A and B are shown apart, each in its own frame.
Chain A
Amino acid sequence: MPADPTLDLDLAAVTDESRRLAASIKPGTGQWDVIVVGSGAAGGMAAFQLATAGVKVLMLEAGRMLDHRREYRTMEWPYQSPRRFRVPPDHRPIAVAEYSFLDRPYGANPAYDRFKKVTSYSGNSFTRNWVVNEKEHPTTGTPYSWVRARVLGGKTNFWGRGALRYGPLQFKAASHDGYDVDWPIAYEDVSPYYDKVDVLLGCSGTKEGLVQVPDGIFQRPIKLNCVEVAFQRTLAKMGRRYIPGRAGVTTEGLLNSKYRTRCMGRGRCGRGCDISAAFHSPTALVYPARDTGNLTIRPYSVVSEVILDPATGRAAGVRVIDANTRDVMDFKARVVVLGAGTLDTTRILFNSKSGGHAAGLGNSSGLLGCHLSEHIMGPRGSGFIPSRIGTEPTLDDGRPISPYVARFRNVTDKHPDFIRGYHFQGGGGAYEYPSMANDLPGFGKAFKSSVRKYYPALLSIGGFGEVLPRKENRVTLDPDTKDAWGIPVLRFDYRFGDNELKMAKDMADSAEEMLRAAGAENIKIDRDPLPPGWSIHEIGTARMGDDPKTSVTDKFCRLHDVPNVYIADAAPFVSGGTQNTTWSILAMCWRTMDHLKERMRAGDA
């Protein structure tokens, strides 16, 4: 195997630092007011809000620290790598087609030794040091492509940067169409926090006045390129809106951060932005929080459960298994904030059985793990936009996000086949790699020149559809299968339902309709839904509500059953619309932390 310095990064410095940190932080080496589990969007925002308010915080990250200068490899060319960024076979990701028919759990089956990671951008050569190994982290039950990153910053190191707000149509979805329940809060409760997140972290976009995806406080928007303008004009005639993507990226700079620079239009943001123009939790939240002197970060800290104080019924702290030494230790604090990600937070709660909580902590309603929701993806379309066929390419991919077709179903009208809706993301033009070459027939000079001819003209869009929250779509703890640290894994019981499949059909049909209207050549339509979990937008398994009988947390994301345990991630979300989840996690977490700080000031927590 040839040396491949772009693949085999030298991470000795950061792993040494992580081991030193983990060895130096033990129960008794410090006193902390609040334990925050996780360091991604949720954990990062929780730690930032608390530490900047003078609260002493212990952050527990299951993975290592991050060497963002070395690991965010934004500007590497593919030819720097002999493998051209392909992941070698012993680190092979699970491919789309394989995902749904391999026997699970992969980790327990030697026949699947070559499979380690979920495919897509989560299992590529840039993220392979961050995404967990399926063999160490198996799941059972129905297929679910659960992407997890165990490293400081979690999935925010490679997120898609889609920074969209939930609006009235999401918070009051049940009032709109009669299905399920509304959130116990309204858009008006959260919109000030979205505003604060926009200002703190930077958000690029345009004011459009759309009820289905409310405006924010935007920095300079990302312009559309030529094929996208043509598509926008077509869609305008159909009464549909194709708008600049809204990116969690600062395009004008931030005066509040010494770690971040404004966007320099280089593209390749999904590898991690080496100037942190894109929001990544480490540079945007965790390092600034650490600079206050109030945040202690302990890496390699796998949290197995929340421990209860039997005398008070309140949480006393958490149990940690050191990922390297396997030492088990209990850290104590007044408050526990779980931000491990929707599903791992749920797993920790299920596994917290002390103090008479045999069904899991916070599960007196029996609804913990239920109502798992995300977005159905897969239906997509592509074609060549005539005005750009045969023209010289322009620089079309130096930007953090492609445009966005706002949801047009069930906003003002009522679709006969399904409720809720979907949006499309996507754009086109001349990207570094001409993937469309695979769709062109032939060989030789004619083939080579046809690649040139169509290279600037590709336009491609893919849908994100709301999966209805359903009680029967759930996760439970599987006592018979354990992860590499001996913690029971999640068993999924999750399927797309009739509404999702009808919606997916309409997604494909409308993609075709729009590409035809644009006069596109060589239209290709994919109708297959991707495997469940593909959106990486999981929400809902500890849903919030006013009634402890029908919900797991109150409207401030605090467990009904245990007053000093909060959830900072998307587990309490009641429904998720079509929007990408991260920006709502950040806004909701800020709101939750404001509530917590108020209670701490009042001596109530």
Chain B
Amino acid sequence: MTTRAVSRRSALRRIGAGAGALTLLPFLSDEGLAAFVKIQAAGAAPAPRILTASQYATVEALVEAIIPADERSPGAKEARVADYLDLLLSEAAPAPRKQWLDGLAALDAQASTRFGAPLVRLDAGQMEALLTDVSRYETVKARPDEESRAVTRNEQPSEKPVYVEGLFGDLSRLDRAHPRPPLEAFFADSKRATIHGYYTSEIGIHKELRYKGNQILAEFVGCQTQDGKDCPHCGQKA
């Protein structure tokens, strides 16, 4: 069991390497594997179900602006987050799907109005200016007197909690009792879906976060102070 689990895992690391690795994944059907590999392979041509080619390009530009490539790892575009958003859209109820597509169109329209170019052709500074405006709500303090290291508290329970349907399900935790302009709501929804798509991707987990788990450990290591040593990770003394 143990050996199999290890080879399964290392096989997944190599998934892009070719069909040879696939025989190590007995639990995936051939059809499922083919679909999976296609989605994972960064070079494969996109085949969106909902988005048009032009919308797909706009979404790629948007998600890459939210989580871009940097010196450490590729960004949301290479992680194929646009494919993930397209999948979410294809399975969303008609109302939130329309709401999200309307939001995308409105943001694109604002780009044209402000900069005379659609979203995909904005330069870095223009994109920054556009997204700064629609994300301003994130840094507005709930009350002006909040101290700088603010403690966020939600309100006491209401009989019927707020439910805000977004592309990515309930948005109420992000949007609690704050009806917000459509573009801000669109940004909140898109950012959350981008975070989910990116940090669950191979790039997000292994290259960006350098997550070290999901492997066989003799024993959970924990903080070195637990073994009576000074800990090099957190600096706490034994």
Residues of chain A touching chain B, judged by Cβ–Cβ distance below 8 Å, are: 1-6, 10, 70, 74-75, 77-80, 82-86, 88-89, 95-98, 100-101, 114, 220, 222-230, 233, 251, 261, 264-268, 274-275, 387-388, 391-399, 430-434, 437-438, 441-445, 447-449, 451-452, 455-456, 508, 512, 516, 521-529
Contacts and interface: CB of A to CB of B under 8 A. Distances in A.
A394 B233 contact: yes
Among all A-B residue pairs, the 6 with the closest Cβ atoms = A223-B222, A265-B217, A5-B32, A226-B234, A441-B138, A78-B200
A270 to B, nearest CB: 14
B87 interface: yes
B101 interface: no
B214 A75 contact: yes
Contact of A434 (B150, B209, B222, B231): B209
Contact of B160 (A78, A100, A399): A100
A451 B196 CA distance: 13
Interface in B198-238: 199-202, 205, 208-223, 225-226, 231, 233-236
B102 interface: no
Given A391-B234, A444-B131, A526-B154, A84 B138 contact: no
B199 A5 contact: no
Nearest to A528: B157
Nearest to A266: B214
Contacts of A434: 195, 199, 209
Contacts of B196: 84
Given A5-B28, A5-B36, A447 B220 contact: no
Contacts of A4: 32, 35
B24 interface: no
Contacts of B66: 443-444, 447
B172 interface: yes
B27 A5 contact: yes
Given A2-B87, A438-B174, A527 B236 contact: no
B149 interface: yes
B2 interface: yes
Contact of A529 (B157, B160, B211, B236): B157
Nearest to A264: B216
A444 B65 contact: yes
Contacts of B209: 393, 430, 434, 452, 455
Contact of B236 (A387, A442, A447): A387
A229 B235 contact: no
B54 interface: no
Contacts of B216: 264-266
A239 to B, nearest CB: 20
A527 B233 contact: no
27 contacts: A3-B35, A5-B32, A10-B29, A75-B8, A79-B200, A79-B205, A82-B39, A89-B91, A95-B170, A96-B161, A101-B160, A101-B161, A228-B223, A233-B236, A264-B217, A266-B214, A432-B213, A441-B138, A443-B66, A443-B131, A445-B68, A448-B70, A452-B209, A512-B153, A525-B152, A527-B154, A527-B155
Q: How many B residues are at the interface, by size bracket?
A: 35 or more
A398 B170 CA distance: 29
B230 to A, nearest CB: 12
A97 B161 contact: yes
A266 B217 contact: yes
A444 B39 CA distance: 24
Contacts of A78: 200-201, 205
Contacts of A84: 84, 196-197, 200
B161 A100 contact: yes
Interface of B: 1-2, 5, 8-9, 12, 27-29, 31-36, 39-40, 65-68, 70, 72, 75, 84, 87-88, 90-93, 128, 131, 135, 138-139, 149-157, 159-163, 169-170, 172, 174, 191-192, 195-197, 199-202, 205, 208-223, 225-226, 231, 233-236
Contacts of A101: 159-161, 163
A166 B192 CA distance: 41
B48 to A, nearest CB: 12
B39 to A, nearest CB: 6
A224 B214 contact: no
A268 B213 CA distance: 10
B217 A395 contact: yes
Contacts of B87: 2, 82-83
Contacts of B32: 3-6
Contacts of B163: 95, 97-98, 101
B197 to A, nearest CB: 7
Given A3-B35, A224-B226, A447-B67, 16 more contacts: A4-B35, A5-B32, A77-B9, A78-B205, A86-B88, A222-B222, A223-B221, A266-B5, A266-B216, A275-B2, A397-B213, A398-B213, A430-B212, A443-B191, A523-B149, A527-B153
Given A101-B161, A449-B70, A528-B161, A89 B93 contact: yes
Residue of A89, A456, A521 ringed by the most chain B CB atoms within 10 A? A89
Contacts of B157: 527-529
Given A114-B93, A223-B222, A442-B138, A268 B197 contact: no
B91 A88 contact: yes
B138 A452 contact: no
Contacts of B233: 226, 388, 391-392, 394, 456
Contacts of B151: 512, 516, 523-525
Contact of A430 (B172, B211, B220): B211
Contacts of A397: 213
B50 to A, nearest CB: 12
Nearest to B84: A84
Contact of B5 (A75, A228, A516): A75
Contact of A225 (B2, B72, B161, B223): B223
A98 B161 CA distance: 7
Contact of B169 (A74, A95, A227, A266): A95
B21 to A, nearest CB: 13
B154 A528 contact: yes
Contacts of B208: 448, 452
A224 B39 CA distance: 38
Given A434-B199, A524-B152, A2 B35 contact: yes
A97 B172 contact: yes
A595 B41 CA distance: 62
A393 B199 CA distance: 15
Contact of B223 (A2, A79, A224, A431): A224
Nearest to B140: A441
A3 B29 contact: yes
Contacts of A10: 29
A115 B195 CA distance: 25
Contacts of B149: 521-523
A223 B214 contact: no
Contact of B27 (A70, A268, A396): A70
Nearest to B47: A2
A268 B215 CA distance: 11
A327 to B, nearest CB: 34
Nearest to A101: B160
A233 B234 CA distance: 13
A522 B151 CA distance: 6
B33 A5 contact: yes
Given A5-B28, A444-B65, A265 B222 contact: no
A454 B26 CA distance: 38
B220 A265 contact: yes
Nearest to B195: A437
A104 B155 CA distance: 26
Given A444-B128, A527-B155, A79 B214 contact: no
